[in-house]
Amino acid sequence: MGATKRHLDRLKIASKIGQAWLHGIFTSSRLAPGLISKSSGAPADQFHLLEQHRQYGNIFKTWSGGKLTTCIVGHELGLRFLTENKAKLRAATIDMTPIFPEGFLRAMEGSTHVHYRRMFLAAFRAVSLEGRSAELRTILRSRLAELTTGEGRLRSQAAARILKQASTALMLQLVLGAKDGSEIAGELTDAYDDYAPNGMHIVITPTERAKYERIKRLVLALADDLKRSEPAPSSLLEYMVRSQTLDDTVIGNLIHMTEFARYDFHGLWRWILLELAGEESYLNLIAAEPDAGRRELMAKSAVSETLRMQQSEFILRTAIMPIVFEGFLIPRRSRVRICIWEAHRDPGQFLDPDVFKPDRFVDKKFSGASYAPLGLDHHRCLGAGWTVQLSGMLVEELAENFSVKLFNYGTVSRGHFHYEPGPDSHISLTARR
């Protein structure tokens, strides 16, 4: 079976390169330089593209996920590519149209994307986290308390499980309005864990569709209850109900925003926990800071540095027609990877780029030309503000109520969608006396 797959990969590679060579004759272009690997899986080495960037320059090719992929390093270059070729690109993401009309927001284009993006932007603006810190930090504190181990070692997978519970509770509350500890929140948690236990499936099958319908029924029940709640919306679902914009596409997006967010948040928080375990002095500085605003800024800076170092990896697009950019041919149906993670390791933009320095964001702001962890173009993450705010609350909780120590940083491993702390990563988390 393995030999057959390798043979098919070789045929695909040869076919795609042959097509590109023929097309290049007519366009005076060529494929970008780079190493074509015969492996279609994601390499275990987190630095593999950074090494190719250093060898081949800002535009190079590779073979990733069974696709010829052109990699672009540098936010200004990447944004220019996305802007100039907007009509020739589509987001390389999961096709949700089998389960709801128009699909997921990040895959939409044109007037449909504009319509729904404006709708969701209005919802995010209406649902403020201001004044809700105590409520939200209580959820985080209760889950972190479950991770306390005395002086024993806390393994990476144990942290992942509890942090997933925390991110799920917060997203159910903020996106769908299901209060932590309520019966409906418990039902939704079970339904989500059944639907996507380790991140979304790449292909939606009839089985996933049936599981999605279970979640949808629970969300519609919540929507009926929200019609009788307080005037100010406390969740995105409540805003949509009150603005009378709740259709099947909105419901599908709310459901999947919850899923993608609970997965991505818990992944980011695993990195925050691991990185800050080696920065006890920085956590002590946060805890001792008398000014609340400064304390919040320091916590958010730790989040920004973690996003720079980890989790924010790439923007992926599919070329729906041939593109020539900077003299290089990007064939139709091949992919383009805007390398966010690699650009964040640029020593010209960040001093000691491979060193975790949370204070680098405290008194300095970086432009989008050097720092863009949550997107570059019109598909930039709508929940970017929530990402920093909620993760900052987690850091403040760690600093004020817990002591975290590093035993072993471990080896970075490739997860379902992102690189993540390896199973050999060990820390300890204890309650502060």
Model confidence pLDDT, tens digit, residues 352-378: 999 999 999 998 899 988 999 998 888
Token digits for 405?
């120590």
Number of domains making up the chain: 1
Report yes or no on 55 lying in a domain.
yes
Q: Give the whole-angstrom CA distance, residue 86 versus residue 89.
A: 6
Q: What is the pLDDT of residues 328-357, one digit of tens each?
A: 999 999 999 999 999 999 999 999 999 999
Q: How confident is the model at residue 225 (pLDDT cuts 50, 70, 90)?
A: confident
CA 88 – CA 156 distance, rounded (Å): 41
- Residue of 13 and 253 predicted with greater confidence: 253
Which pLDDT belongs to residue 17? 67
Q: Does some domain include residue 21?
A: no
User: Which of 3-12, 45-54, 394-403, 408-417 comes out lowest in average pLDDT?
Assistant: 3-12
DSSP 220-284: HHHHHHHTTS-SS--SHHHHHHHTT---HHHHHHHHHHHHHHHHHHHHHHHHHHHHHHT-HHHHH
Looking at the domain assignment, is residue 23 inside a domain? Answer: no
What is the SS3 assignment for 412?
coil
Alpha-carbon distance of 170 to 420, in angstroms, equals: 21
- Domain containing residue 231: 32-431
- Does 215 fall in a domain? yes
Answer with the residue of higher pLDDT: 224 or 228: 224
CA-CA-CA-CA torsion for 163, 164, 166, 169, nearest 10 degrees? 180
The CATH number for 304's domain is 1.10.630.10
Nearest by Cα to 308 from 349, 336, 277: 349
Residue 77 domain-assigned?
yes
Cα(372)–Cα(380) distance, integer angstroms: 9
For tokens 């045929």, name the residue: 11
Classify residue 422: in a domain, yes or no: yes
Whether pTM exceeds 0.75: yes
Is 247 a member of any domain? yes
Query: Is 381 part of any known ligand binding site?
Result: yes
- Is residue 401 in some structural domain? yes
d(CA 53, CA 70): 11
Within 13 Å, how many C-alpha atoms sit on residue 432's CB side? 14
